[in-house]
Amino acid sequence: MSKKLQNDIVIRDKRQVTLPRDICEKLGVDTGDELTVYIEGDTLIAKVKKKLAMDSLKEIQRIFAETPVTEKEMLKSGRRIRKELVKKYYGSQL
């Protein structure tokens, strides 16, 4: 069972907060990393943006796994569409 981390955080004059070291370490965040903060009911939730990106990537991979279209077919289609757009807007091919 994972240990629940809980700390009290003070909101400073400019509405700034400092996250305790143990929480940052548990989340794998450091100076310069970004969090997305939102409210659910009366609860403030903060998520690490790189985790959100990884979750999105996993969802994209799941969707691709469920479709009959292969990566090779998508790349071929993308190249064809790109050539059509270049021809349409620039009058030439790549």
**17 neighbors 7 (Cβ within 8 angstroms):** no
Cut 0.85: pTM above it? no
**49 neighbors 34 (Cβ within 8 angstroms):** yes
How do residues 28-85 score in pLDDT, each as one tens digit? 888 888 898 999 999 999 888 877 777 888 888 888 888 888 888 888 999 999 999 9
Domain span at residue 63 reads: 52-90
Higher pLDDT, 21 or 56: 21
- Taking CA atoms, 49 is separated from 25, 35, 36, 61, in Å, by 15, 5, 6, 18
pLDDT for the residue 93: 57
pLDDT for the residue 94: 52
Question: Is 43 domain-assigned?
Answer: no
Instruction: Name residue, tokens 């991979």.
Output: 61
Question: Is 77 domain-assigned?
Answer: yes
Question: Is 81 domain-assigned?
Answer: yes
Look at the chain and report how many structural domains it folds into: 1
| Mean pLDDT within 3-17 | 88
